[in-house]
Amino acid sequence: MSKLVTIYGGSGFVGRYITRRMAKAGWRVRVAVRRPNEAIFVKPYGVVGQVEPVFCNIRDDASVRAVMAGADAVVNCVGILAESGKNQYDAVQAEGPERIARIAAEQGVAQMVHVSAIGADEGSESDYARTKAEGEAGVQAHMPGAVILRPSIVFGAEDQFFNRFASMTRLGPVLPVVGAETRFQPVYVDDVAKAAELALTGSAPAGVYELGGPEVDSFRGLMHRMLGVIHRRRLVVNVPFFAARIMGFSFDMLQAVTFGLFSNTLITRDQVRNLASDNVVAEDAKGFADLGITPVTMGSVLPDYLWRFRPSGQYDAIKESAKNLRT
């Protein structure tokens, strides 16, 4: 009988790519999510009955245990960029991974992969970075043989980075960014999924791996790369950190006083703290090279999904070609 893997957050951005890879590898995949009816799209990743979305709340022991029953391996891809309602950093990113690892150890699960993030630091002023580190510690305490993946900014067709800023270019001639000189090392989502697959199949030694693509660039530089792909000219303006902190505080307070009716998806105080630090692979960290993976470049992927933000969309290449015609 084929092996079974439970992937918590398996319908999310990174999770769906891991789900697809494990299904192609012949595993049965249980996709544990809060809204299974919204994760039906993962079922065609395998044959009938091979990939199944199931309900799970990682804040609850019984819920986590139920969807892990009989699993040979588990993956945790759950994470949040901003707090909302009961989904707080401590509950989701610190207590959630520890709960999954503890129950996995109780049930004798052979392998665990935990998707964290570069910059995880228990001493960080950022709640996001602090809870990422606490989650890692909880995983290692219960599952010392686990593989922890720390990607930099992840890009791909469904990303909320390049897609978000490319969409903003439609609003005017100025593109504001916070931390324009902060450096990032964007990594392709399927490269992260490939690393997870190697770990689940026993081809990667236990430990922490920092995953970054082959290119390091500043926030400003990444925006200029994106503008080049979508054939738009915009003025990239740096928002000073003091101004960004004021903005983050204002939006956070608005979310609080409206009891969540206004959801701060613009900029939070914690995101401003994160943007003050570089997000690149440490020199002494294990990474793709240790896994035998050659990460792909941004230039080989971005045009495949950002073309829709070009002035003429799918017709942009035709219009450019037409300019070269001679009458």
Which amino acid appears at position 160 of this protein? Q
User: With a cut of 50, which residues of the chain have pLDDT below it?
Assistant: none
pLDDT at 85: 84
Per residue in 155-185, pLDDT tens? Answer: 999 999 999 999 999 999 999 999 999 999 9
| 230-285 pLDDT, tens digit each | 999 999 999 999 999 999 999 999 999 988 888 888 899 999 999 999 999 999 99
Q: How far is CA 202 from the centre of its chain?
A: 23
Spans of all domains in the chain: 4-158+186-214+280-293
Candidates 202, 216, 204; CA nearest to 283 is 216
User: What's the pLDDT score for residue 201?
Assistant: 94
Predicted local confidence at residue 8, as pLDDT? 98
Instruction: Identify the CA nearest to 193 among candidates 110, 288, 80.
Output: 288
- Interatomic CA distance for residues 146 and 16, integer angstroms: 20
Type of residue at 80: I
Encoded tokens for 326: 């001679």
Q: Say how many residues make up the chain.
A: 327
Beta bridge partners of 188: 155
pLDDT of residue 327: 52
Q: Which of 146, 141, 55, 138 is nearest to 97 (CA)?
A: 138
Instruction: Copy the structure tokens of residue 142.
Output: 């219960």
Q: Which CATH architecture has domain 4-158+186-214+280-293?
A: 3-Layer(aba) Sandwich (3.40)
Let me know: does 252 contact 268? Beta carbons within 8 Å: yes
Query: Would you state the structure tokens that stand for residue 145, as one six-digit string?
Result: 């043989």
